[in-house]
Amino acid sequence: KPQLVASNDRFCRFLEEYCPVVTETYYPTIWCWEGRVQTLLRPFITSRPQVQYRNELIKTADGGQISLDWFDNNDSSYYPDASTRPTVLLLPGLTGTSKESYILHMIHQSETLGYRCVVFNNRGIAGEELLTPRTYCAANTEDLEAVIHYVHSLHPSAPFMAAGVSMGGMLLLNYLGKTGTDTPLMAAAIFSAGWNVFESVESLEKPLNWLLFNYYLTTCLQSSISRHRQMLEKLFDMDLVMKARTVREFDKQFTSVMFGYRSIDDYYEDASPCRKLKSVGIPVLCLNSVDDVFSPAHAIPVETAKQNANVALVLTSCGGHIGFLEGIWPRKCTYMDRVFKQFVQAVFEHGNKIFSM
* H helical segments located in the chain: 9-18, 35-45, 101-113, 142-154, 167-179, 197-204, 207-209, 215-226, 229-232, 238-241, 247-250, 256-258, 264-271, 302-305, 335-350
- Asked if 67 is an active-site residue, the reply is no
Read off φ and ψ for residue 52, nearest 5 degrees. Answer: -100, 110
- Asked if 321 is an active-site residue, the reply is yes
- Asked if 228 is an active-site residue, the reply is no
User: Which one from 166, 192, 200, 295 is the annotated catalytic residue?
Assistant: 166
Strand-pairing partners, residue 89, are 118, 162
Please answer whether residues 70 and 117 qualify as being in contact, where contact means their C-beta atoms are separated by less than 8 angstroms: yes
User: Which one from 143, 251, 291, 292 is the annotated catalytic residue?
Assistant: 292
Residue 120 CA to its chain's centroid (Å): 10
Write the single-letter amino acid at 250: F
User: Which one from 105, 108, 228, 321 is the annotated catalytic residue?
Assistant: 321
> 57 Cβ partners below 8 Å, 6+ apart?
65, 66, 67, 68, 128
CA distance 205 to 246: 8
Please answer whether residues 66 and 57 qualify as being in contact, where contact means their C-beta atoms are separated by less than 8 angstroms: yes
- The catalytic site residues sit at 166, 292, 321
